[in-house]
Amino acid sequence: MIEVVATDEVGVDVASIERVLAWAAGRLDVRSASVGVMVVGPERMARINHEHRGIDRATDVLAFPLDGQEDLDGWPAEGPPPELGDVVICPDAADEPLTTLAIHGLL
């Protein structure tokens, strides 16, 4: 099972993002994992972008991977599922649909 935990700070319906990420992970043959998604405003995205990339402006999507494909291949069946990482999306900086950005962040 793919668990997508999405939080929204700007009034976006995150259900479609959760659905498309679960679908995309399944298409990538990821059967068990979790991924986090945050939908944030431009000020918060600019802070995150500055903190992690040294760039003082908002961007459309940032990804923070944890367990990669090489980890998934040998992941033990018992125990917690792997964590794919976190995806941060800023609708105000986006030119693409949020679901497209979410997939981009997952990949």
Residue 82 pLDDT = 75
C-alpha 80/C-alpha 63 separation (Å) is 22
Residue 76 pLDDT = 65
b vs e for 30-66, b when ≥16 Cβ sit within 10 Å of the residue's Cβ? beebbbbbbbbebebbbebbeeeeeeeebbbbbbebe
- Digitized pLDDT (tens) for each residue of the chain, 107 residues in all: 678 888 889 999 899 999 999 999 888 888 778 899 999 999 999 999 999 999 999 999 999 988 666 666 666 677 677 788 899 999 999 999 999 999 999 98
* Spatial contact of 95 and 60, defined as CB atoms under 8 Å apart: yes
Whole-model pTM: value is 0.87
Residue 70 pLDDT = 63
Residue 102 pLDDT = 95
